[in-house]
Amino acid sequence: MNRPTNPHTLTQANAPVGTHAGYMPGFGNDFETEALPDALPQGMNSPQKCNYGLYGEQLSGTAFTANPPERTWCYRIRPSVKHSHRYEKINLPHWKSAPCIDPDVISLGQYRWDPVPHSDSGQNWLTGMRTMTTAGDVNTQVGMASHIYLVTESMVDDYFFSADSELLVVPQEGRLRFATELGIIDLAPKEIAIIPRGLLYRVEVLEGPARGFVCENYGQKFELPGRGPIGANCMANPRDFKAPVAAFEDREVPSTVTIKWCGQFHTTKIGHSPLDVVAWHGNYAPYKYDLRTYCPVGAILFDHPDPSIFTVLTAPSGQPGTANIDFVLFRERWMVAENTFRPPWYHKNIMSELMGNIYGQYDAKPQGFVPGGMSLHNMMIPHGPDNEAFEKASNANLGPDKLDQTMSFMFETRFPQHLTTFAANEAPLQDDYIDCWTSLEKKFDGTPGKK
């Protein structure tokens, strides 16, 4: 059963002038926000006694000596360490972590799935997470996992954080509220959220059922890509990222905290809401971003550029230019290239491409890749437009053409992605996917001229 959410349980800071209600603009900014006046110490981090009897606590998302270091100072009703039970291991059998290789599953290939249906029983953010692929190794903080979430129930007096990962959330249907230690993020399709490693939150259903995609990043945090010759504007602009203003609950009620740690899940019990941060300042925060503000840049005379021009966020791997994960967006745009085969070219790629459809039709796959569906073209596995897309693009009159009503994305990683047993055996895998290329005919007959 969905419990209605009560926005009045959280005391929220007034939105600063010139921002959207409840959010502060900017990517990686050093923010400051307080839900009660003078709750935030000024000029220092650790006063001998904090105002209102708050405890000061630092959440560090990078090593202290990283460049730049990312951390946030929280002023809270109780320190996070206050819990009354030892950690207990629990089982969330559908949320997997790398390495997770089922020897009976073949990951080499081209795969496509219809939307995973909602189950008959109610599911929350934790029980409704379904891992599709894993890559790398959670213990060495390398790689990623891709998940589908199917959520119908709010978490009630239940809280969660992942010590393993940062989560990139891409909704496809329904609306969710992430009530976090640092404030509230409401999220709808065509928006994304980034929930940093270690940040505690509860997920509520504002409008269900909710389905979407998650990229779980075990590695270095997502950042804005280098813009190179494109310069300071277009693509994802920093001001369109929104961090929440401070919001807190002062509620004494038996609650549980679940922690994902080295691929396993543990719970402990506490006697209060841990969303009790009254004020915070720092540069380690959750944020949301409206994908409709992404300004695509592309070919304006001929040819089809590499999809890296559509990178929204990139998570570096340590090897420059070779991402642990790129988050790439294929959205509405004008196609104007002359004498050009406009859809993606046929290709093999060292990077592994996990795609999801948020809405509409993707140009390389007019049929079969539907909203809520996913596809995987793994490391060095050939793929490209299906026969229908090839014929249409090869014979089209090449006037300016608006690709309208379309939004798909790619989680692209330098590591091979392994299908989970769920993705291979339970999720609605399209067994006939590779047939979309079998009708591509031989046109070559030894004579020159365009066929």
Ligand X SMILES: O=C(O)Cc1cc(O)ccc1O
Return residues touching Fe ion (CB under 5 A). Answer: 353
Q: What is the C-alpha separation between 144 and 449, in angstroms, rounded? A: 46
242 binds, among Fe ion, ligand X, none (CB under 5 to 8 A by kind): none
Distance of alpha carbon 264 from alpha carbon 139, whole angstroms: 11
Which range, of 85-93, 232-240, 332-340, 343-351, touches ligand X by CB under 6 A?
Answer: 343-351
CA distances in angstroms from 427 to 112, 120, 200, 367, listed in the order given: 10, 15, 29, 19
Binding partner of 225, given ligand X, Fe ion, none, CB within 5-8 angstroms per partner class = none
**Is-catalytic flag, 304?**
yes
Cis peptide bond N-terminal to 209, omega within 30: yes
- Closer residue to ligand X, CB minimum distance, 70 or 363: 363
Site map (CB under 6 A) of ligand X, residues 203-232, x = contact: ------------------------------
Choose, from 8, 147, 281, 304, the residue flagged as catalytic.
Answer: 304
Binding mask 254-293 for ligand X (x = CB under 6 A): ----------------------------------------
Residue 63 CB, nearest approach to Fe ion (Å) = 34
Q: Shortest Cβ contact with ligand X: which residue?
A: 344
Which of 166, 276, 353, 386 forms a contact with ligand X (CB under 6 A)? 353
Shortest distance, CB of residue 348 to Fe ion, whole angstroms? 9
User: Cis omega before residue 99 (within 30°)?
Assistant: yes
Q: Which is nearer to ligand X, 260 or 383 (CB)?
A: 383
CA distance 420 to 106: 10
Strands 110-113 and 201-217: unpaired
Q: What is the DSSP string of 189-204?
A: TTEEEEE-TT--EEEE
Residue from the set 183, 344, 373, 416 that interacts with ligand X by CB under 6 A = 344
Tell me the CA distances in angstroms from 141 to 163, 336, 392, one per residue in order: 10, 42, 44
Question: What is the rounded CA–CA span in Å between residue 194 and residue 222?
Answer: 9
| 240 touches ligand X (CB under 6 A) | no
Preceding peptide of 382 cis, ω within 30°? no
Q: Is residue 326 near ligand X by the rule CB under 6 A? A: no
Distances (CA, A) of 351 to 323, 333, 348, 377, 429: 9, 25, 9, 9, 22
Tokens of 359: 């809405």
Choose the one of ligand X, Fe ion, none that binds residue 307, judging by a C-beta under 5 to 8 angstroms depending on kind.
Answer: ligand X
Residue 395 CB, nearest distance to Fe ion (Å)?
23
Partners of 313 in beta bridges: 327
Query: Could you tell me which stretch among 67-75, 178-186, 285-293, 345-353 binds ligand X (CB under 6 A)?
Result: 345-353
Distance CA 407, CA 363 (A): 10
DSSP 395: H
Residues 343 and 337: beta-carbon distance below 8 Å: no
CB 350 to Fe ion: min, Å: 11
Confirm or reject binding of residue 364 to ligand X (CB under 6 A).
yes
Q: How many CB atoms lie within 10 A of CB 353?
A: 21
- Nearest to ligand X of 204, 353 (CB atom): 353
Binding to ligand X (CB under 6 A) within 159-198 occurs at none
- DSSP lists the bridge partners of residue 279 as 34, 75
By the rule CB under 6 A, 307 interacts with ligand X: yes
Q: For residues 220 and 324, which CB has a smaller minimum distance to Fe ion in the complex?
A: 324
Q: Which does 244 bind (CB under 5 to 8 A by kind): ligand X, Fe ion, none?
A: none
Q: Return the number of the residue (29 or 349) whose C-beta is nearest ligand X.
A: 349
For the annotated catalytic residues, the residue numbers are 304
